[in-house]
């Protein structure tokens, strides 16, 4: 049983990631995405925050906060993979621009696959996986499913619409199974993080990202700034875990740090949306 649970953990995570990214591709309207990609300011903010400032913030926190090395590795990995698959739901709740959300998710997914294999070996001491060992699973469970979904959506819109409910349900079941396995495998360990600065460092990390991205989004309207805030704050946990799964006998506290991020980033995002959303809401400028 002890050997079966980690295997189920990996399988459910892979299905959840691939299913979520396939769903994203099936929903992604390239015309909407191109509208966002034509905004130089939006693209520049997305790339700089996602792949320069947030990784630098994670690294800075590990220098200031006395985190144990496995927790520090987990935080650094969190800094390298923006955009959770459930971003469109949060953006819709915040009345953000869903067209720019499509552009953000496309940039974040491609950027993660390119960025992580190059930076993980440089920034994370003790994580000796080769760039290809990191890139290969990212290509298989991030970029490939999304590309397949986008092709189906573009070539056969009716088929994409019929596939969506099934893919969404499959990804949801896999995600629920993964969450249950997280509790079973790491439940006791989660109780021991209180005195490790892990929770405090993640609260600071996600809080700075959400409000920093929004307040420094000069020149962007609310509908685009909130897309950036939510997209950059939420992390692709599957992509964060991928380098750890490729290293045998990795300290489970690094994985625990990433698992712990799920409730924290969701809570910070929901509270941030509640605080920043204009009174009466605003209409989303695009639909996916």
Sorted by sequence, the CB contacts under 8 Å of residue 213 that are 6+ apart come out as 45, 49, 225, 228, 229, 232, 233
Instruction: Compute the radius of gyration of the chain from its Cα atoms.
Output: 18
| pLDDT digits 0-9 by tens, 37-68 | 999 999 999 999 999 999 999 999 999 999 99
CA distance 283 to 288: 14
Percent of the chain with pLDDT over 70: 92
| pLDDT digits 0-9 by tens, 171-216 | 889 988 988 888 888 777 776 776 678 999 999 999 999 999 999 9
User: pTM for the whole thing?
Assistant: 0.88
pLDDT recorded at residue 137: 84
| pLDDT digits 0-9 by tens, 146-158 | 889 989 988 898 9
CA distance 270 to 140: 31
Query: Residue ranges per domain, the chain?
Result: 4-276
Residues in the chain, overall count = 288
- Across residues 98-123, what is the average pLDDT? 89
CA distance 139 to 145: 9
CATH topology for the 4-276 domain:
Na+/H+ antiporter like fold (1.20.1530)
């Amino acid at each position: 049983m002890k050997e079966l649970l980690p295997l189920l953990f990996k399988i459910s995570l892979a299905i959840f990631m691939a299913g979520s990214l396939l769903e994203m591709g099936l929903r992604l309207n390239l015309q909407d995405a191109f509208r966002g990609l034509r905004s130089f300011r939006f693209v520049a903010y997305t790339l700089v925050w996602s792949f320069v400032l947030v990784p630098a913030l994670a690294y800075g926190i590990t220098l200031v906060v006395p985190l144990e090395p496995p927790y520090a590795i987990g935080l650094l990995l969190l800094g390298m993979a923006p955009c959770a698959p459930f971003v469109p739901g949060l953006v819709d709740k915040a009345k953000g621009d869903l067209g720019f959300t499509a552009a953000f998710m496309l940039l974040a997914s491609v950027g993660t696959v390119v960025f992580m294999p190059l930076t993980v070996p440089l920034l994370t001491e003790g994580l000796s996986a080769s760039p290809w060992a990191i890139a290969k699973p990212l290509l298989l469970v991030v970029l490939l499913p999304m590309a397949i979904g986008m092709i189906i959506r573009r070539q056969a819109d009716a088929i994409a619409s019929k596939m969506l409910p099934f893919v969404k349900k499959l990804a949801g079941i896999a995600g629920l199974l993964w969450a249950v396995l997280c509790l079973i495998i790491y439940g006791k360990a989660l109780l021991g993080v209180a005195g490790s600065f892990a929770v405090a460092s993640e609260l600071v990390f996600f809080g700075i990202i959400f409000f920093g991205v929004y307040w420094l989004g000069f020149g962007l309207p609310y509908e685009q700034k909130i897309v950036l805030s939510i997209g950059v704050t939420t992390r692709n946990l599957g992509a964060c875990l991928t380098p750890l799964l490729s290293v045998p006998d990795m300290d489970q506290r690094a994985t625990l740090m990433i698992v712990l991020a799920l409730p924290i980033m969701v809570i910070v995002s929901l509270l941030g949306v509640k605080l920043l959303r204009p009174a009466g809401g605003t209409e989303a400028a695009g639909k996916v």
